[in-house]
Amino acid sequence: MNAPGAPRLVERAAQPRPAWALEQAGIHPLLARLYAARGVRAAEEVDPSLQHLIPPARLRGAAEAGAALARALAQGERLLVVADYDCDGATACALALRGLALLGARPEQLGYVVPDRARHGYGLSPAVVEQALAAAGPRRPDWLITVDNGIASFEGIQAAQARGVKVLVTDHHLPALRDGVPQLPPAEIIVNPNQPGCDFPSKALAGVGVMFYVLLATRAAQREQGRYADRPQPRLDGLLDLVALGTVADVVRLDANNRRLVAQGLQRIRAGQMQPGVAALFDVAGREPARASAQDFGFALGPRLNAAGRLETMNLGIECLLAEDPAAARELAQRLDAINRERREVEAGMREEAQAQLDAQLARLGQAEPPAGLALFDEGFHEGVVGIVAARLKDRLHRPTFVFAPGADGALKGSGRSIPGFHLRDALDLVAKREPGLLTRFGGHAMAAGATLPAEGFPRFAAAFAQVAAESLDPSQLHRELLTDGPLDPAWIADDATALATAHTLDAAVWGQTFEAPVFTDTVEVLQQRIVAEKHSKLTLRHAGQRRDAIWFGHTEALPARVRLAYRLSVDRYNGRERVQWVVEGVGVAGLEATP
């Protein structure tokens, strides 16, 4: 059994034969074992070279989009990018503008607009179309190009077309449903791996990844037109730092294709080849580009960009990513860093209030466990932070969670996060069917979604959402599992130098959503335990005859003298020196259960 409140530790099944094959193909023995346990069967799946990237021709609509953009560039048409206000949308917007400029667009041909989260909400709405046309002045755009949005923007697309503006949708979200059937908006061109009829093998492309493929298709169309017959074609791989950042920050599944995109972006960043804005974000976050990892995107750079869209305007983030002057980029990055500090304060207060609400609700009902589906609302909640608070509560309680805040128009704006086995967008569709008229707007995908409802409708939503979750989820799914990689051979951490080399090898690999960074499990002796910063446990352990330093963040409970730990290796840097520290991820007091 596990310690009270801890996740259930589940060891991945060993795959010795695929691991051996990967090792024979030249992959590091420890990585071969870890990759095989995650389903990798051929070395090509973890080969980061771009030659293995799925070709753009496989992505429905990409060739058509490329041909249209190539014509537009040649004819001097004006292109206006409609972005989203999260990191994926910001990186996709910067990628589109930088990429189109590389492909020959003149500055006067390009522009962008970002919806205001509070006034416009998500996506290309008629109000955003009016904003875009007003900002464009007398020379209105010929094309609106949506990035990371648009697949459900029926009214906005129709409003643009009524004004004589064509629309190219680049998105990765699921289409809207009508009677269970996906519905596509009337855009001139749609590029989305999740649209009906698209057989693109990677359905997990982020919005920035979709836009990268459109740029590849545009360059291919220009080649066919003979544009590069007498000159070299522009290199688009120099923009992969943006693709990698947006892909990881959007927490999409890191399948083989996405891992290649991220690996290529990391490779360039480590070599010092990145946009000035990306370099500035590394600097203000206190991270070293030469040691960049996917975790830097998810936990350092991404949150700073997202904070702008949550509390102010994502224009700040986009301008940072577009900046050519390092000094200007650093000034913008510093502003983003300050906004992120403010975001953390707002988030902390909302989490405390949400927990107080939940405790009061459970006490009133005489229950020890929260409902299968959780929805919370408070008049003081900030609309821009509901998503991240929902994510934090989901992580801690292991329940599908929605958090709502008052919107500027008086309606409630909510954002939800889910757990494995519960498709959040489909759950909202079922709530809408059971409670007609309750949801004025909703959309998203399996793990994240948004919804809008009238202020008086929250109690109905909370009850309906909890009921749908209770019907859909087995009780066993409501207990978090921590997948582990079993014991770490002591040979890989036999001494300080060897342990450091092993940690660097693991850090250099690409890990992320559904391809999680390795977590090992071993039985250890606890020699010493002390509390640091009033909320963390600093541990001295004995393992395989060696003393190990460890830290257990956010926990102060005493451990027994002998315990089974789930941990990851972390490189701790201090005063120019490096050492390996174990970061505890979970605690068990008996043997692990193995997956079948």
Q: What is the CATH number of the domain that holds 548?
A: 2.40.50.460
Domain contains 105: yes
- In terms of domains, do 60 and 145 share one? yes
Q: Hunting for tokens 């003393």 — which residue is that?
A: 547
Q: 321: part of which helix (H) or strand (E)?
A: helix 315-322
What tokens were used for 109?
A: 């041909």
Domain contains 453: yes
- In terms of domains, do 157 and 66 share one? yes
Q: What is the CATH number of the domain that holds 80?
A: 3.90.1640.30
| pLDDT computed for residue 173 by the predictor | 92
- In terms of domains, do 325 and 416 share one? no
Closest among 360, 373, 416, 427 to 391, alpha carbons compared: 416
Which one-letter DSSP state was computed for residue 299? I
Q: 432: part of which helix (H) or strand (E)?
A: helix 424-434
- Residue 36 has a CB neighbour count (10 Å cut-off) of 23
**218 CB-near residues (< 8 Å, 6+ apart):** 65, 66, 69, 70, 73, 99, 100, 103
- In terms of domains, do 199 and 73 share one? yes
- In terms of domains, do 517 and 475 share one? no
- In terms of domains, do 195 and 310 share one? yes
Q: Among 437, 453, 479, which residue terminates a domain?
A: 479
Domain contains 363: no
Domain contains 271: yes
Q: Among 422, 455, 479, which residue terminates a domain?
A: 479
| pLDDT computed for residue 6 by the predictor | 65
* C-alpha gyration radius of the chain: 25
Which one-letter DSSP state was computed for residue 235? P
Domain contains 279: yes
| pLDDT computed for residue 595 by the predictor | 40
Domain contains 410: yes
Q: Among 323, 339, 355, which residue terminates a domain?
A: 339
Q: 181: part of which helix (H) or strand (E)?
A: strand 181-183
What tokens were used for 287?
A: 């991270």
- In terms of domains, do 243 and 271 share one? yes
* Tens-level pLDDT at each residue, the chain (596 residues): 344 456 889 999 999 999 999 999 999 999 999 999 999 999 999 999 999 999 999 999 999 999 999 999 999 999 999 999 999 999 999 999 999 999 999 999 999 999 987 777 778 999 999 988 987 777 889 999 999 999 999 999 999 999 999 999 999 998 988 888 999 999 999 999 999 999 999 999 999 999 999 999 999 999 999 999 999 999 999 999 999 999 999 989 999 999 999 999 999 999 999 999 999 999 999 999 999 999 999 999 999 999 999 999 999 999 999 999 999 999 999 999 999 999 999 999 999 999 999 889 888 878 888 999 999 999 999 999 999 999 999 988 999 999 999 998 899 999 999 998 999 999 999 999 999 999 998 988 888 899 999 999 999 999 999 999 999 999 989 988 899 999 999 999 999 999 999 999 999 999 999 999 999 999 999 999 999 999 999 999 999 999 999 999 989 999 999 999 999 999 998 888 999 999 999 997 444 444 43
- In terms of domains, do 563 and 418 share one? no
What tokens were used for 292?
A: 């960049």
Q: What is the CATH number of the domain that holds 388?
A: 3.10.310.30
Q: 303: part of which helix (H) or strand (E)?
A: helix 302-311
Please report how the helices 315-322 and 276-284 are oriented relative to each other, as an axis angle in degrees rounded to 10: 120
Closest among 169, 163, 133 to 59, alpha carbons compared: 169
| pLDDT computed for residue 119 by the predictor | 77
| Dihedral sign of CA atoms 367, 370, 376, 378 in order | positive
- d(CA 135, CA 131) in angstroms, rounded, equals 6
Q: How far is CA 279 from the centre of its chain?
A: 20
Domain contains 28: no
Asked if residue 442 lies in contact with residue 427, where contact means CB atoms within 8 angstroms, the answer is no
| pLDDT computed for residue 393 by the predictor | 93
3-state per-residue secondary structure call for 9-22? EEECCCCHHHHHHH
- In terms of domains, do 493 and 451 share one? no
- In terms of domains, do 388 and 298 share one? no
Range of the domain at 145: 50-339
Domain count within the chain: 3
Backbone angles phi, psi at 423, to 5 degrees: -80, 110
- In terms of domains, do 91 and 211 share one? yes
Asked if residue 56 lies in contact with residue 63, where contact means CB atoms within 8 angstroms, the answer is yes
The CA–CA distances, whole Å, from 440 to 337, 400, 415, 432, 554 equal 35, 21, 14, 9, 39
The pTM is what? 0.92
The partner residues of 548 in beta bridges, in order of sequence, read 541
Residue ranges with strand state E in 76-149:
79-82, 110-113, 143-147
**72 CB-near residues (< 8 Å, 6+ apart):** 79, 142, 143
- d(CA 492, CA 501) in angstroms, rounded, equals 9
Domain contains 377: yes
Our CA angle for 45, 47, 50, nearest 5°, is 110
Pairing of strands 374-377, 166-170: unpaired
- d(CA 115, CA 32) in angstroms, rounded, equals 45
Asked if residue 128 lies in contact with residue 83, where contact means CB atoms within 8 angstroms, the answer is no
- In terms of domains, do 387 and 490 share one? no
